[in-house]
Structure 1
Amino acid sequence: MESKFLRGTFFLTAATLISKILGFIYIIPFTALVSTQGYVLYKYAYGPYTILLSISTIGLPLAVSKFVSKYNEVGNYQVGLRLLRYGMYLMVMTGTISFVALYLTAPFLARLVIDPNDSTGNSIEDVQFVIRLVSFALLIIPAMSVFRGYFQGNQSMGPSALSTVIEQVVRITFILAGAYVTIHVLKSSITNAVGVATFAAFIGGLAGFITLLFVFFKRRDLIKKQRDESLNNEDMNVQSMFKELIGYAIPFVITGLAIPIYQNIDTFMINKLFQSIGYNLYEAETINSVIGLAQILVMVPVSLATAFGMSLIPGITSAFNSGRMLEVHNKISQTIQILIFFTLPAAMGLCILGRPIYIMVFGLENSPDIGGGILEWYSLAAVVFALYTVTAAIMQGINQQKKLIIGILIGVGLKVLLNYLLVPYLDEVGPILATYIGFTTSITYNVYMIKNTIHFKILPLLKTLRSVLLLVVLMSLIVWGTEVLCEIWLPEAFSLYSRALLTSAISICTGLLVYLGIGSKLTLAKGILNRKSKNY
């Protein structure tokens, strides 16, 4: 049973990583098709949608999984099926409400980002159109999330993993094919191409949902047999069931919403802020779009790091509830060490190679000068995002959910205030620094609460990270030197894109060889590799 569970967890983690990698890769051809003006329109639609999507896809699968697993453990399989049935009813209702709310508020949301008196960028009608098309996905995603949680609660990770990959593959295929056909075959507008791309969220969700339904009906006889042979089947009233489920879901939702909230603050504030200091709408939308593209690059190392680090969080919860405080301290140290080991070198690499990497990924047509500079400034957010995600999860593991909410509210409030204060003086760097300060404040608050609650000692952790920090400094110097040499040695006859591609490739490979070559000798790295080989 243990090996089956570990294998299933591995497949689910792998599926999530594949989904995130695909979600990064498709942006490259999509941006080439619709340009930064089309991408910012896509971003307007996905901003508010992501908030509602995060509630369903981050909170519900984990909460339903925890609920089903708990009652399966005591032999009450009937409650899990009852939750699935009534959960579907609830999600159809809440999904419909969310759809109607987003569809009807589309004009209001459009006016938040677009000045009707400035015709240099996208129009209010364009934004309203794409928001309404993406809202249809809310009719299907919540119900799919309940199904995924049910399978995970039964320690059957395969259906969730399969549906995750199929959903993403179908969505991306529809986005790219639809945008290409709309622009190059039908000769229609970029707005219509982006509209097709946003509607792909519904098509992908439908494909994932059909996959889960197929697996469920294929296993229907086995599920009924399991229920009928259970020794402790007892009914549970719907009110008590949902009360317990919501109690599980809220902490998961809180952690998952923080980064989308910060991103939405920028999406909906940047245009008006930059227009207030003299930019026209087109220029403001370009900055808005480029910040969104930089966020995508930054989230790649965050996703990889948290996939490793978050695997230790259940152990922290279990050890805390059992009173094994030394084990809690050790696991917290291990988690943060893993995050720093993976995210810090990636962030420094993005910082040093911001301009060539931006050109390599997004080409010369998507504001490379602004984009390269923004990526250099935004790169270290990878470390900040990862540390926030893990410290928030640790707060949940030690039952400090209410205090976690306070930390988030303080950080978000600072972010909004500093956007107003910094943009007039620092231009596009202002929102980035505001994000750093907001998140760092929340992280500091989380660490303070963790330290006070379980008497966790920070100094020993910092000492274990000294070797990694020195290695990152060495790697950064070598990557910087390699970039300088590439700029000197590469022939002037090469195109700007070719020079950026070669500079990025050579510098990244050199940095990886140095970091992994020397890093593999460190005690910390050996410990990480040994733990992962034992787990999988």
Structure 2
Amino acid sequence: MVNRFLQGTLVLTIAGFVVKAIGSINWILLSRVLGGEGIGIYQMAFPIYLLALQVSSAGIPIAISIVTAEKVARCDYTGAKKVFTLSFNLLFITGLLCSLLMYFGSDWLISSGYIIDNRAYYSLIALSPAIFFVTLISCYRGYLQGWQLMTPTAISQIIEQLLRVVVMLGAGYLLLPYGLAAAAGGASLGAGIGAFGALVVLMYYYYKLPRLADGTPLEGTGTSQRANELHNKTTATGNDTDTTVTDEMTPSDSLSQRPVIEKESSGSILYRLIKLAIPISLASVMLPLVANLDLFIVPRRLAVAGFSTGEATELFGYLTGMAVPLINLATIITAALATSLVPAISNAKSLNDAKGVFYRTSGAMRITFMATVPFTLMLYVLAEPVVTVIYNAPKAAEATQILAIAIFFLGLHQVTTGILQGLGKPTLPVINMGIAAVCKVILNWNLTAIPWLGIAGASYATVADIGVAALLNLIWIKRYTGYFLDISILWKNIVSAVIMGIAMYFIYGYIAPLMPMFLAMVISAAIGGVIYVIIMVLLKGLDRHDGQRMPIIGRFFK
């Protein structure tokens, strides 16, 4: 189970890197095709599209994942299918309504002056079908993740991005002779076509799952390996009876021997889905809300500190447009880990397996330490060459170096949020994010206005925001699972990363004058990574057992 959980995390991590890489290349090429003005037209329609997606699907996908995982853990496969059917019907309606509203409301958005450039009209109507397809995608992904199947999500993400990029660049280029409005509208078509491709992939994986009617597997359908294992090895717990299904039992035997499962009504399932979805949706709204607070406060307080409007805008761009994306990129692993954790924790909790919840939590936190602490030191040491190579903006190094500290806290926050959602406590992360946001506003208002701090003050406020939210999550996890930070593991990561950082500092300083900056940066990071692993092994922070648990390479440690 642990190895399978790690495999799911690895699959999502690889997909995340691939999608990010394709997206970055696409954005560079699309900018060359459309130019700044064309990108501006496209960007005017995109926030409306994102808002419509939030309304159409809200937090339903994670809710589907949680409830499905509970049903599967109890071998209630008919109940799991019922969760999907109800969710699909609900999201079909909301997705279709939001898609039609955007399509027919495009004229009003232009005529009312909400969107000031009427050239965005074609982009609005081109994006509207994507809302329907993406809403359905969220249903399939949530359901398949509830079965702890992460490969469909990963493959669908890659297919979606590839199709999106091909259509955006192709249509944008072909329609450019007809004007920027037409070209931006053509580029916007990529979202819908990419989403449709992803939907086809997910439907294929969905129909590979076992079809169950009245507890009996239907014949003539493909069954994934994971589904077979769940049929054959799941332990179902009833009121007074525990039934352990062995490898020797067939799916039909296991179904006949497990306790009778009380069927849950459609109304009860919908109520639980909505109850879980609302706080999850609020959590997703908190991120753009905090970003808008930054937009309102930071430039104004920089002006108070003595910076001109142009300087304030430039510094704000360094923080939000350059440093923050690097931090998000560095936490792709923990973002994937959090996605895998939700159904895994929910599965164990539904079986009242307190030890399983604890071990999954502690295991996830151990991975979090190894996935964030070294990257924190790497970016801190190499901040200047990184922003110079990627953005050609060495002045962004200060904000990036400070924000590098947030890599650890952001990874911690992502994973702890996944744990709390898996425990059926999705409201807690929202409350914690709200408290952290208040702290950030206070710090932003005061620190950013200090002349010798400036944008550094806003950077420290961002670190504090993420750190407070993560710490509050940990306090609640301690209450519900008994787990808090494992200092015996964390200190080994910190010591190894500090030694790595010191070595990288001197290595880069020595080789930077001898070769191109990019090459010096890559060599320093690679040597630093090797040093980190060696020190971790010497401190017994990594051992043969950890190697065996790793997907793909685990067989080399046996």
- TM-score w.r.t. the length of structure 2 is 0.72
Corresponding residue number in structure 2 for 1:344: 373
SS at match of 1:524: coil
Report the alpha carbon displacement of residue 469 of structure 1 after superposing the two structures with TM.
0.9
Corresponding residue number in structure 2 for 1:504: 521
Distance 1:484 1:33, change over 3 A: farther
Q: 142, 166, 170: which is aligned to 1:173?
A: 166
After TM superposition, the structure 1 stretch with the greater mean CA deviation from structure 2, 304-313 or 242-251, is 304-313
Paired residues for 1:121-270 under 5 Å: 125=117, 132=124, 136=128, 137-153=130-146, 159-177=152-170, 186=177, 197=187, 200-212=190-202, 223=211, 239-250=267-278, 252-253=280-281, 256=284, 258-266=286-294
The Cα offsets for residues 201-229 of structure 1, whole Å up to 9 and x where unpaired, read as: 3332233234445777x779x85989996
Q: 68, 71, 74: which is aligned to 2:76?
A: 74
- 2:487 & 2:111 partners in 1: Cα distance? 48
Contact 1:42 1:130 in 2 (8 A): no
SS at match of 1:424: coil
> What letter matches 1:449 in structure 2?
W
The Cα offsets for residues 406-430 of structure 1, whole Å up to 9 and x where unpaired, read as: 2111112233343333333343334
> What letter matches 2:390 in structure 1?
V
- 2:36 & 2:403 partners in 1: Cα distance? 18
Corresponding residue number in structure 1 for 2:510: 485
> What letter matches 2:444 in structure 1?
N
Corresponding residue number in structure 2 for 1:447: 474
- 1:480 & 1:163 partners in 2: Cα distance? 40
Corresponding residue number in structure 1 for 2:497: 472
**Count of aligned pairs:** 506
Contact 1:50 1:260 in 2 (8 A): no
Note if 1:300 corresponds to 2:329.
Answer: yes
Contact 1:407 1:446 in 2 (8 A): yes
SS at match of 2:448: helix
Report the alpha carbon displacement of residue 275 of structure 1 after superposing the two structures with TM.
6.6
- 1:47 & 1:187 partners in 2: Cα distance? 24
Corresponding residue number in structure 1 for 2:388: 359
Report the alpha carbon displacement of residue 167 of structure 1 after superposing the two structures with TM.
0.8
Paired residues for 1:302-451 under 5 Å: 302-308=331-337, 311=340, 314-317=343-346, 325=354, 328-362=357-391, 364=392, 368-425=393-450, 426-451=453-478
The Cα offsets for residues 325-363 of structure 1, whole Å up to 9 and x where unpaired, read as: 55544443332222121212112211221221122223x
After TM superposition, the structure 1 stretch with the greater mean CA deviation from structure 2, 478-487 or 155-164, is 155-164
Distance 1:428 1:515, change over 3 A: same
Contact 2:69 2:347 in 1 (8 A): no
Contact 2:429 2:473 in 1 (8 A): yes
Identity in percent: 22
After TM superposition, the structure 1 stretch with the greater mean CA deviation from structure 2, 269-278 or 343-352, is 269-278
- 1:347 & 1:2 partners in 2: Cα distance? 26
Corresponding residue number in structure 2 for 1:532: 550
Paired residues for 1:9-158 under 5 Å: 14-29=14-29, 50=50, 53=53, 59-68=59-68, 70=70, 73-76=75-78, 79-80=82-83, 82-83=85-86, 85-93=88-96, 95-96=98-99, 99=102, 125=117, 132=124, 136=128, 137-153=130-146
- 2:108 & 2:529 partners in 1: Cα distance? 47
Distance 1:39 1:305, change over 3 A: farther
Contact 2:5 2:340 in 1 (8 A): no
After TM superposition, the structure 1 stretch with the greater mean CA deviation from structure 2, 152-161 or 30-39, is 30-39
> What letter matches 2:327 in structure 1?
V
Distance 1:323 1:356, change over 3 A: same
The structure with the largest helix share of the pair is 1
- 1:271 & 1:41 partners in 2: Cα distance? 24
After TM superposition, the structure 1 stretch with the greater mean CA deviation from structure 2, 368-377 or 36-45, is 36-45
The Cα offsets for residues 450-472 of structure 1, whole Å up to 9 and x where unpaired, read as: 334455454xx123222221111
SS at match of 1:140: helix
- 1:304 & 1:351 partners in 2: Cα distance? 19
> What letter matches 1:482 in structure 2?
I
Report the alpha carbon displacement of residue 432 of structure 1 after superposing the two structures with TM.
2.1
- 2:358 & 2:265 partners in 1: Cα distance? 39
- TM-score w.r.t. the length of structure 1 is 0.75
Distance 1:393 1:201, change over 3 A: same
Corresponding residue number in structure 1 for 2:316: 287
The Cα offsets for residues 507-526 of structure 1, whole Å up to 9 and x where unpaired, read as: 22221222234334443323
Distance 1:335 1:342, change over 3 A: same
> What letter matches 1:511 in structure 2?
G
Gaps of 5+ in 1: 112-122, 491-498
Corresponding residue number in structure 2 for 1:493: none
SS at match of 2:541: helix
- 2:302 & 2:201 partners in 1: Cα distance? 45
Contact 1:171 1:203 in 2 (8 A): yes
Root-mean-square deviation (CA), in Å? Answer: 4.7
Contact 1:144 1:208 in 2 (8 A): yes
Distance 1:240 1:465, change over 3 A: closer
Report the alpha carbon displacement of residue 88 of structure 1 after superposing the two structures with TM.
4.0
